């Protein structure tokens, strides 16, 4: 009887890992990679004046004809694993390694009974948040909520609160970074994971996070790019993170303003837990005190 129970547990764990591996490959489109990428016809700042003259004429015409331009681009498995490319159709751009880290952190808080919900601040198409819900589902955790925090309009213009954001142009990429709430919900639904354990915080972080109805967190994942977005999340959420919980910073190595916000916050609050590298840009640490 005991051997049968052990064998059943092994099979159950193997099935869970198989499901989560499949979800990761689907979210990143590693399992059926794109070979064609959209052509961005918007001229660069240094483009010839003729290009800027033609742009407002061509764009409406293509839109009216429902035509999109694509170019062939061979799939780079290594780049996708590390989240170095910009996937045309994937539900996340963070890559397999950062999803594996997310799985590790959530599995650990479940195993150790660390109390609290899960949150991602800055979700794009929702892929990482969808994966959070998938992990809770596969382990039968019905006590935690996945909080999905985003403006769903892209990033804000620098508002003058922090000089570190002066000149930041992320707000000008709203056509690619601003994914609507309806689309993110639809993405959850496609995986069968939109339910009462998923809640949305809609708006700029400085407005939504101070009064967010969250008592405790076990995993805090930040993907806000800017100094202000990173600092707003840390200032309003870190004190709600339980001991044994994890903080994950997506843009630490890629965006200097994000790194500066993390370093400033840790120094101000005497946080000395070791920063652990996930891949070329992301880091995380476990809250120990």
Residue 211 within a domain: yes
pLDDT of residue 268: 97
173, 231: one domain: yes
48, 147: one domain: no
Residue 120 within a domain: yes
How far the first Cα of the chain sits from its last, in Å, is 43
197, 145: one domain: yes
pLDDT of residue 13: 85
180, 49: one domain: no
Residue 141 within a domain: yes
pTM above 0.85, yes or no: yes
Closest of 270, 215, 263, 255 to residue 237, by C-alpha: 215
List the CATH number of the domain containing 100.
3.40.50.150
pLDDT of residue 19: 95
Residue 126 within a domain: yes
pLDDT of residue 1: 57
Please answer whether residues 141 and 22 qualify as being in contact, where contact means their C-beta atoms are separated by less than 8 angstroms.
no
Cα 102 to Cα 132: distance, rounded to the nearest angstrom: 8
190, 276: one domain: yes
Please answer whether residues 194 and 185 qualify as being in contact, where contact means their C-beta atoms are separated by less than 8 angstroms.
yes
Domain that holds residue 109: 95-286
Residues 27-70 have pLDDT tens digits of: 999 988 877 777 766 655 555 666 556 667 777 787 788 887 77
pLDDT of residue 277: 98
Residue 128 within a domain: yes
pLDDT of residue 40: 67
124, 56: one domain: no
Please answer whether residues 227 and 263 qualify as being in contact, where contact means their C-beta atoms are separated by less than 8 angstroms.
no
Spans of the chain, pLDDT less than 70? 1-11, 40-55
Residue 273 within a domain: yes
pLDDT of residue 230: 98
62, 153: one domain: no
Residue 84 within a domain: no
61, 203: one domain: no
99, 57: one domain: no
132, 227: one domain: yes
Q: How many CA atoms lie within 13 A of 35 on its CB side?
A: 2
168, 250: one domain: yes
166, 242: one domain: yes
The number of domains in the chain is 2
Residue 79 within a domain: no
């Amino acid at each position: 009887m005991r051997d049968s129970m052990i064998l059943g547990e092994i099979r159950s764990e193997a099935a869970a890992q198989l499901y989560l591996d499949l979800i990761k490959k689907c979210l990143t489109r590693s399992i059926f990679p794109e070979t064609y990428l959209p052509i961005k016809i918007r001229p660069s700042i240094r483009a010839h004046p003729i290009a800027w003259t033609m742009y407002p004429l061509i764009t409406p015409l293509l839109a009216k004809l429902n035509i999109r331009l694509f170019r062939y681009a061979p799939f780079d498995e290594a780049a996708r694993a590390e989240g170095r490319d910009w996937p045309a159709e994937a539900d996340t751009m963070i890559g397999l390694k950062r999803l594996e880290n997310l799985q590790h952190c959530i599995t650990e808080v479940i195993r150790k009974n660390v109390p609290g919900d899960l949150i991602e601040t800055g979700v794009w198409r929702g892929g990482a948040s969808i994966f959070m819900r998938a992990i809770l589902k596969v382990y039968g955790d019905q006590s935690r909520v996945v909080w999905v925090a985003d403006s769903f309009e892209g990033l804000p213009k620098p508002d003058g609160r922090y000089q570190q954001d002066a000149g930041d142009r992320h707000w000008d990429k709203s056509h690619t970074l601003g994914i609507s709430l309806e689309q993110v919900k639809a993405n959850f639904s496609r995986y069968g994971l939109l339910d009462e354990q998923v809640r949305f915080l809609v708006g700029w972080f400085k407005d939504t996070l101070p009064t967010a109805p969250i008592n405790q967190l076990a995993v805090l994942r930040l993907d806000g790019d800017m100094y202000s977005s990173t600092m707003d999340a840390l200032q309003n959420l870190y004190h709600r993170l339980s001991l044994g919980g994890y903080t994950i910073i997506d843009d630490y190595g890629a965006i200097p303003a994000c790194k500066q916000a993390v370093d400033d916050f840790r120094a101000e609050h005497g946080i000395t837990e070791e920063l652990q590298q996930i891949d070329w840009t992301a880091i995380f640490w476990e809250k120990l005190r």
